[in-house]
């Protein structure tokens, strides 16, 4: 993952053309990506404990 996100919503796409908003959106996506990875790893550990 390189922090890029394809935006489908036209309103969001319009906002993301503004530099500050684009930075905030990028940071948000990185946070969500990291949280998803952490949740995935935790789920793997839980499965390993059960087995």
Quick one: pLDDT at residue 20? 72
Q: What is the DSSP code string of 2-18? A: -S------HHHHHHTTS
Quick one: pLDDT at residue 36? 76
Quick one: pLDDT at residue 40? 81
Length of the chain: 51
pLDDT tens sequence across 1-51: 455 555 566 655 555 455 676 667 677 777 677 777 778 878 877 877 765
**Rounded Cα–Cα distance for residues 11 and 21 (Å):** 12
């Amino acid at each position: 993952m390189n922090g890029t996100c394809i935006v489908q919503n036209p309103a969001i796409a319009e906002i993301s053309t503004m530099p500050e908003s684009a930075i905030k959106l990028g940071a948000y996506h990185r946070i969500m990506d990291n949280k998803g990875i952490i949740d995935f790893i935790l789920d793997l550990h839980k499965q390993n404990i059960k087995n």
